Amino acid sequence: MNTTAHRIVVLGAGYTGMMTAFRLARRTRRTPGVRITLVNPSPRFTERLRMHQIAAGQELADVRITELLDGTGIEFVEGWATALDAEAREVQVSGTEQPLAYDTLVYALGSSTDTSLVPGAAEHAYTLNDPRTARRMSQKLTRLAERGGSVTVSGGGLTGVEAAAEIAEGHPGLNVTLLSREVPGSMMGPKAQAYLLAALGRLGVTVRSGVTVAKVLPAAVELGDGELLASDVSLWTAGVRVPQLAAESGIAVDAAGRILVDGDLRSVSHPEIHAIGDAARVEQAWGTLHGTCQSGIPTAAYTADAIARRLRGRTVKPFRFGYIHQPVSLGRRDAVIQFTRPDETPRRMYLKGRSAVFYKETVSASPVQTYKLTKKLAGAALWPQGGRATKA
């Protein structure tokens, strides 16, 4: 019997990293010698889908990673991955003396909002990258609401829409303005988009589309045409960037720093490295995946199954995925869900109002519940290797 340990290190305990670690533990429970280590800078699981709720002043459950991992056999290492030696197959983690050696690495470091796009964004705008920053923003909004004031949200994507709606609902005395290059909801069908815009209007959000932000100032936002828009609090949600760890380590990446992967989601330059979620450039027949929880979790589930199958000497089918929806919360009491084709173009069907709220809350709550369920049920999340992932 082979007693040599196979060391699997998962970098990042976001939605994708957690899913991979949990599912790997389940899939390899009968495979001798497999050791799984999960690395993350915080012991708390961050629900990125709900960061706008924290910014608006709501308290979320304190979910501890170690408590979720209890009974799985997964080792947790708290710290930042500061260096990666892809040739020696070692990861240096802050706070530890010896690097972590691996035989298989799962790179799930995710992405963050890119505040380098315009001057002043990094210095004067809040982001939804971190719960501590979001909480500081909520505290300032609470103080500001006592006397009235203005809030600008830069970026008309779904994150910006959800944040603007949540802030306006939670602080009706504030003047909230959503700044966007395109009309918000432009990726949706006309009926769903019309509902989204009407909901923002009912909440008192002023939508300024067709504008660009040239600079973020301490108490204002300068638009591309030179107009100064007063802003006591600025929230930046536009643009995405990924950690440069992979690029700095000599791993093949695209211009944005995402790891280039093959059809099995393995690095084209270092096949022992699996890249998932926002950190990977994943190509499908219809185009390139973009960073969402909807696509990230399937890449994680697939990767866990693929690694487990290879350890048992089995073949692996290529990853295939198709989008199914665009869920958008519009405060706590309203939402809109646009159902889509696999390439994310809109279908005719959509949900609105209470049914959409129920749907959105079910989707947002499902990752943590899935992790818990995966401890007991191997097939809890998505289809296994190959096949179109269409269940969330």
The answer to whether residues 125 and 230 belong to one domain is yes
Q: How far is it, in rounded angstroms, from Cα 334 to Cα 203?
A: 10
Spatial separation of the C-alpha atoms in residues 37 and 29, rounded to whole Å: 14
Say if residue 100 is in the same domain as residue 148. Answer: no
How confident is residue 387, by pLDDT bands cut at 50, 70 and 90?
very low
- The answer to the question of residue 246 being in a domain is yes
Domain stops at, among 236, 266, 292: 236
Confidence bin at 317 (pLDDT 50/70/90): very high
3-class secondary-structure state, position 146: coil
Handedness of CA 135, 138, 142, 147 (dihedral sign): positive
DSSP 216-232: EETTEEEETTS-EEE-S
Choose one of 203, 236, 269: the last residue of a domain.
236
Q: Are residues 381 and 261 in the same domain?
A: yes
- Count of structural domains, the chain: 2
Residue 182 lies in a domain: yes
Whether residue 152 sits in one domain with residue 20: no
Least-confidence region, from 87-101, 133-147, 155-169, 369-383 = 369-383
Within this chain, do residues 15 and 100 fall inside the same structural domain, yes or no?
yes
Residues 128 and 231 in one domain: yes
* Residue 246 structural domain: 6-41+79-111+242-321+366-389
Please compute the mean of the pLDDT values over residues 336-363 and round it to a whole number.
96
Q: Are residues 189 and 288 in the same domain?
A: no
Please report whether residue 334 resides in a domain. no
Give the mean pLDDT of 354-380.
Answer: 75
Last residue of one domain, picked from the residues 236, 261, 280:
236
In a domain, 20, yes or no: yes
Token couple for 250 = 């000599």
Q: Do 215 and 268 share a structural domain? A: no
CA–CA distance, 101 with 35 (Å, rounded to integer) = 11
Determine, yes or no, domain membership for 207.
Answer: yes
Q: Are residues 214 and 299 in the same domain?
A: no
Specify the 3-state DSSP secondary structure of 34: strand
Residue type (1 letter), 227: E
CATH number at residue 272: 3.50.50.60
pLDDT surpasses 60 at 383: no
Query: Side chain identity at 336, as an amino acid letter?
Result: V
Asked whether residue 328 is domain-assigned, the answer is no
Local confidence band at 60 (pLDDT 50, 70, 90 cut-offs): confident
Residues 248 and 380 in one domain: yes
Cα 201 vs. chain centroid, distance in angstroms? 27
Cα 337–chain centre separation? 18
pLDDT at 130 > cutoff 60:
yes
Q: Is residue 141 part of a domain?
A: yes
- What number is the average pLDDT over the span 125-140? 95
Average pLDDT, the chain: 92
Report yes or no on 84 lying in a domain: yes
- Residue 183 shares a structural domain with residue 283: no
* Better-predicted residue by pLDDT, 7 or 60: 7
The whole-model pTM stands at: 0.92
Whether residue 160 is found in the same domain as residue 224? yes
CA atoms within 13 A on the CB side of 263: 8
